[in-house]
């Protein structure tokens, strides 16, 4: 049962992402090679094993038995709720950012600063929501390798990807983006006094 929920969660969220990214590519595309060697290497070392392990679990869960952990059933069902709950968030953020979405951290020439929808509170909702989906998959699979790779990916996103993307956005939008940074949180809404 959990395997089928993973398939729904993974391909449901992936389908939403693919749909909006394909639409955005019709207007402008940035090649991943333009990002540089570091980000390409990060994808190879961290993202590829993570996604291959999820794919292996979806095809045949026994292939990932070597890294399974015993989790209470309620926690695995919590992963199901989280994974399914991410889908409307994924749709919301992609429909809000529209044609500005890119597979890279680079800013498109036609990029517009989006500050509505989830971007009203969080500058990088995709980098907050995607790990939630991966955490859900980790719980559903009851797998320490998938969970560990998710944590590593999140650390890399925070330390490298978001920093590079924000540097490009500052270069493109200048003081408008700096003002936006002051009123929003990076991955979580900013807590305000009063």
Is residue 79 included in any domain, yes or no?
yes
Q: What pLDDT score does 95 carry?
A: 95
What is the span of the domain harbouring residue 161?
Answer: 2-23+36-183
Q: How far apart are CA 46 and CA 153, in angstroms?
A: 6
How many C-beta atoms lie closer than 10 Å to residue 77's C-beta? 15
Is residue 83 included in any domain, yes or no?
yes
Is residue 75 included in any domain, yes or no?
yes
Is residue 127 included in any domain, yes or no?
yes
DSSP state at residue 108: P
Number of domains in the chain: 1
Q: What is the DSSP string of 132-190?
A: HHHHHHHHHHTBHHHHHHHHHHHHHIIIIIHHHHHHHHHHHHTHHHHHHHHHSBSSSPP
Cβ(142)–Cβ(69) under 8 Å?
Answer: yes
At residue 32's C-alpha, the angle toward residues 12 and 101, to 5°, is: 50
Classify residue 87 as exposed, middle or buried by CB count within 10 Å of its CB (0-12, 13-18, 19+).
Answer: middle
pTM of this structure:
0.87
Is residue 41 included in any domain, yes or no?
yes
Is residue 194 included in any domain, yes or no?
no
Sequence-separated (6 or more) residues with CB below 8 Å from residue 30 = 102, 103, 104, 106, 108
Is residue 189 included in any domain, yes or no?
no
What is the CATH number for 126? 1.20.120.1630
Q: What pLDDT score does 159 carry?
A: 86
pLDDT digits (tens, 9 = 90+) for 154-177: 898 888 888 888 998 999 999 999
Q: Would the pLDDT of 51 be above 50?
A: yes
Q: What pLDDT score does 43 carry?
A: 79
Q: Would the pLDDT of 92 be above 50?
A: yes
Is residue 16 included in any domain, yes or no?
yes
């Amino acid at each position: 049962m959990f395997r089928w929920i993973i398939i729904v969660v993974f391909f449901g969220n992936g389908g939403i992402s693919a749909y909006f990214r394909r639409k955005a590519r019709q207007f402008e595309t940035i090649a991943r090679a333009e990002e540089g060697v570091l980000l390409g290497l990060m994808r190879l070392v961290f993202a590829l094993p993570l996604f291959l392990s999820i794919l292996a679990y979806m095809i045949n869960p026994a292939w990932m038995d070597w890294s399974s952990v015993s989790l209470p059933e309620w926690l695995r069902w919590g992963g199901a709720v989280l994974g399914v709950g991410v889908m409307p968030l994924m749709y919301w953020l992609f429909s809000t950012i529209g044609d500005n979405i890119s597979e890279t951290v680079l800013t498109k020439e036609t990029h517009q600063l989006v500050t509505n929808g989830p971007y009203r509170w969080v500058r990088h909702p995709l980098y907050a929501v995607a790990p939630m989906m991966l955490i859900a998959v980790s719980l559903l699979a009851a797998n320490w390798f998938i969970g560990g790779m998710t944590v590593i990916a999140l650390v890399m996103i925070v330390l490298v990807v978001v920093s590079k993307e924000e540097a490009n956005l500052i270069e493109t939008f200048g003081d408008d983006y700096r003002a936006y940074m002051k009123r929003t949180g990076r991955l979580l809404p900013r807590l305000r006094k009063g």
